[in-house]
Amino acid sequence: MVMVSQEAVKWATAAGVAVGDVLHAWKADRCIPVPIGRDWDVIRVTAHIGWDALARMRLADHDFGPVVMNRPRRTLEIVVPPGSAAAWPALDRSACVAAAHGHLRCPPPWTRAPGVEAAGYGWVYAAPGTAVPYTDGDALCEAIVTAMVSRKLRASEEARTAYALSRRPAPSNP
């Protein structure tokens, strides 16, 4: 039988989930829907942008709060301080969505992504109840914008290169 940490249960119940629901779901290796917007907000970003942004933050020595990989949506869902979603800039909505309401599907604390997951969900960093309650929203925003710009610049350079190569005359055969 898997033991559920008291800190993780406190984290979920503080956000509004009943203790019995938490224990029942996690002991069965299922996710629980935890309300967003009360104790924290969530930034949901496409996985390729999210992994890039988290790598940039790691290089800058930033701490991380809980980060969930949502494999069915191909996103990372990053817990940020309450009120962060309202202050989040308008970015490409296909790449990043700030949420101050709804639910975060929280897998059991012992799941890790990629790898050990519950229905396609797993913790990337800092499962609930750990020392860092959330990721710095400003640092995350900067990292996500930098990752998005970097990807767009790479795509533009690749397109320019492909165009230039297509304009070269074909080699002549002697």
In a domain, 171, yes or no: no
In a domain, 172, yes or no: no
- What percent of the chain has pLDDT above 90? 40
In a domain, 131, yes or no: yes
Express each pLDDT in 21-36 by its tens digit.
999 999 998 999 999 8
Residue 119 binned pLDDT confidence (cut-offs 50, 70, 90): confident
Token representation of residue 113: 């992504």
Distance from C-alpha of 116 to C-alpha of 142, rounded to nearest angstrom: 30
In a domain, 170, yes or no: no
Express each pLDDT in 80-110 by its tens digit.
998 888 888 877 765 677 777 889 999 998 8
78, burial (CB in 10 Å: exposed 0-12, middle 13-18, buried 19+)? buried
In a domain, 128, yes or no: yes
pTM, 2 dp: 0.82
> Any bridge partners for residue 117, and if so which?
none
In a domain, 120, yes or no: yes
Number of domains in the chain: 1
The pLDDT mean for the chain works out to 84
In a domain, 114, yes or no: yes
Residue 54 pLDDT > 90: yes
Domain that holds residue 68: 6-162
Output helix, strand, coil percentages for the chain, rounded to the nearest 5: 40, 20, 40
**Nearest residue to 76 via CA among 92, 58, 95:** 95
